[in-house]
Amino acid sequence: MDVGRAEEISIGKPVHIEIDGTGIAVFKLDQAFYAIEDVCTHDGGKLTGGCIENDVIVCPRHGARFSIRTGEALSAPAYEPTATFPVRVENGMVQVRDDRWD
């Protein structure tokens, strides 16, 4: 699924998209793009809208921290990772796919 032109996605401003009912947050870090499920594994909060500290997103609800690169839960109250998705840039367009059910 197309997310947007690479130059239109900026560091610190993740883009939220939906693929088949799954909310996905797409981030730009340095010159690379990353996609994680836009759901906190603590209590289902949306991660977009939280603070970004380098390559970490902080859940705006209770402060759990997740790696934008790996989806790993880095601090309580979340312990389970959030899903990650493959991202590519094709002709300047950032694209994400939910490969969990392939």
Which residues of this chain interact with ligand FES, rule CB under 6 A?
Answer: 40, 42-43, 45, 59, 61-64, 77-78
Residue 52 and residue 64 in contact, taking contact as beta carbons nearer than 8 Å: no
Please report how close the Cβ of residue 59 comes to ligand FES at its closest, in angstroms: 3
Residue 47 and residue 57 in contact, taking contact as beta carbons nearer than 8 Å: yes
Please report how close the Cβ of residue 41 comes to ligand FES at its closest, in angstroms: 8
Please report how close the Cβ of residue 67 comes to ligand FES at its closest, in angstroms: 14
Alpha-carbon gap, residue 83 to 26, rounded angstroms: 12
